[in-house]
Amino acid sequence: MPSLGSSFDDKLYHLGAYTVFMLLGFNFFRQTQVKHKILISGTIIVLYGIIIEVLQQTLSTTRTLDAYDMLANFIGVVVGTIIIKLMVNLKLN
Q: For residues 65 and 27, what is the distance between their CA atoms, to the nearest angstrom?
A: 29
What are 4-28's pLDDT values in tens digits?
665 668 899 999 999 999 999 999 9
How many C-beta neighbours within 10 Å does residue 80 have?
24
pLDDT score of 45? 97
pTM of the predicted model as reported, rounded to 2 decimal places: 0.85
What pLDDT band is residue 1 in, cutting at 50, 70 and 90?
Answer: low
Contacts of 6 (CB under 8 A, 6+ apart): 12
What are 24-80's pLDDT values in tens digits?
999 999 888 888 999 999 999 999 999 999 999 999 888 889 999 999 999 999 999
pLDDT score of 5? 61
What pLDDT band is residue 93 in, cutting at 50, 70 and 90?
Answer: low
Q: For residues 1 and 77, what is the distance between their CA atoms, to the nearest angstrom?
A: 21
Element containing residue 59 per DSSP (H, E): helix 37-59
Domain residue limits, the chain: 9-89
Contacts of 92 (CB under 8 A, 6+ apart): 86
Distance of CA 65 to CAs 18, 27, 53, 91, Å? 17, 29, 5, 39
